Amino acid sequence: MKITFFSAKKYDIDSFTKANLQYNFELEFFETHLGPHSIEMLQNADAICVFVNDKLNRQVLEGLSKKNIKYVALRCAGFNNVDLDAARELGINVCRVPAYSPEAVAEHALALIMTLNRKTHKAYNRVREQNFSLQGLMGFNLNEKTVGVIGTGKIGAAFCRIMLGMGCKVLAFDLMVNKELEAAGVEYLPLIELLQQSHIISLHCPLNEQTTQLINHQTLSLTQPKVMIINTGRGKLIDTKAVIEALKNGHVGYLGIDVYEQEEKLFFKDLSTEIIQDDTLQRLMSFPNVLVTAHQAFFTEEALNEIADITLQNVQALSQQKPQAVAKALLA
């Protein structure tokens, strides 16, 4: 069984090579992303392993089918980048890693909040230049602030627990109520009320038709002045242009994003010597109250080890015709 990897970085090669000691698959790694241009690189592979910004549309899936690819293993949780109907029609199994260290992402959301609030990124640079002034570094106590969590699945639930621990009042909106969180003190409300009452809003729902541009002109108009918006979900959960307007007029007080609408052209690459053509991202990065990280919320040692192990386990179960063993991971 040969698995060909796309968008593979050194840390992927390291974690998968280590996990593969248990499985003994033949692994082949390409740094390039998967797209119509890279299908010809496939040589006798049975499965491919891809990441968040590899686009598996119908054209790409048809190309994979012609190359006899039977399994697509996503080494991530989100799957908005795959045309699952096309995969089903072509008889290609698609699996993902439904859960891996949700705390990794939830803790990164907290890191975004704490950095934006207490400005540790500015303090770090200032002190190194022997500037010990506190001017401009004032934050606010998180204790007793109201935090609205949209999507209380695995990551949202971990984030709720963290924010309860910080002494916050935690409000939630989800299609399903998590009774354990409710018992722990989380209050489920309709979306409108959550937007109206929260000082901080954190997005942890998947990207789908209902959630695309959930944060837009209209929903922003309901939020508290100086609201802090945190997005570690997917870039398209936010209408970036609407948020830029709200940042310019001061209604949005802070924005922390680990994901961005057009990230596939930028994230995971070193573009430090290039001219960035994306004016929207450049505008975002020009605000002093905006913090952008490049899809790193998942990036902990524990999470990478789990991702590698679960991905290979998924491929093994599928290749041994045991789809029920990976039912939770199987998308098509």
Task: Using CB under 6 A, count the residues that bind ligand NAI.
Answer: 30
The first and second tokens of residue 311, run together, are 């991905």
For residue 203, list its beta bridge partners. 150, 231
Regarding 101 and contact with ligand NAI (CB under 6 A), the answer is no
Closest separation between CB of residue 77 and ligand NAI, Å? 4
DSSP per residue, 73-116 = EESSS--TTB-HHHHHHHT-EEE----S-HHHHHHHHHHHHHHH
Is residue 21 close enough to count as binding ligand NAI by CB under 6 A? no
Out of 21, 134, 176, 183, name the contact with ligand NAI by CB under 6 A: 176
The residue from 233, 235, 253, 256 that contacts ligand NAI (CB under 6 A) is 233
Short-list 47, 58, 54, 36, CA closest to 318: 47
Position 175 contacts ligand NAI (CB under 6 A): yes
Determine which residue in the list 63, 148, 156, 256 makes contact with ligand NAI, applying CB under 6 A: 156
Task: Name residues whose C-beta falls within 8 Å of residue 307's C-beta, 6 or more positions apart in sequence.
Answer: 15, 75, 76, 97, 100, 298
Out of 135, 210, 272, 273, point to the residue binding ligand NAI (CB under 6 A). 210
The smaller minimum CB distance to ligand NAI, of residues 63 and 233, is found at 233
Residue appearing with tokens 């089918």: 65
Q: Which window, 11-19, 25-33, 168-176, 249-257, contacts ligand NAI (CB under 6 A)?
A: 168-176
Structural element, H or E, at residue 26: strand 26-29
| Cβ-based neighbours of 153, under 8 Å, separated by 6 or more | 174, 204, 205
Residue nearest to ligand NAI (CB): 153
Cα–Cα dist 126/146, whole Å: 31
Query: Rounded to the nearest whole angstrom, what is the least distance from the CB of residue 229 to ligand NAI in the complex?
Result: 15
Could you say which of 15, 53, 152, 311 contacts ligand NAI (CB under 6 A)?
152
Instruction: Give the other-Cβ count within 10 Å of 316's Cβ.
Output: 17
Structure tokens at 329: 């991971």
User: Is 266 one of the binding residues for ligand NAI (CB under 6 A)?
Assistant: no
Q: Which of 155, 200, 243, 246 is close enough to bind ligand NAI by CB under 6 A? A: 155
The question of whether 263 is a catalytic residue gets the answer yes
What is the rounded distance in angstroms from the CA atom of residue 263 to the CA atom of residue 285?
A: 14
Residues of this chain, 51-90, that bind ligand NAI according to CB under 6 A: 77-78
**Residues 267, 272, 274, CA angle at the centre, nearest 5°?**
95
Q: From the CB of 143, what's the least distance to ligand NAI, in Å? A: 25
Catalytic-role residue among 96, 199, 204, 263: 263
Binding string, 295-314, against ligand NAI, x = CB under 6 A? x-xx----------------
206 forms part of the interface with ligand NAI (CB under 6 A):
yes
Active-site entry in 204, 264, 295, 306: 295
Give me the catalytic one of 234, 261, 264, 306.
Answer: 234
| C-alpha to C-alpha distance for 203 and 31, rounded to whole angstroms | 30
Tell me how far, at minimum, the Cβ of 37 lies from ligand NAI, in Å: 26
Considering only CA atoms, which of 104, 16, 73, 74 is closest in space to residue 299?
A: 104
Distance in Å from the first CA to the final CA of the chain:
20
* Binding interface with ligand NAI (CB under 6 A): 77-78, 99, 102, 105, 150-156, 173-176, 204-207, 210-211, 232-234, 258-259, 295, 297-298
Catalytic residues: 234, 263, 295
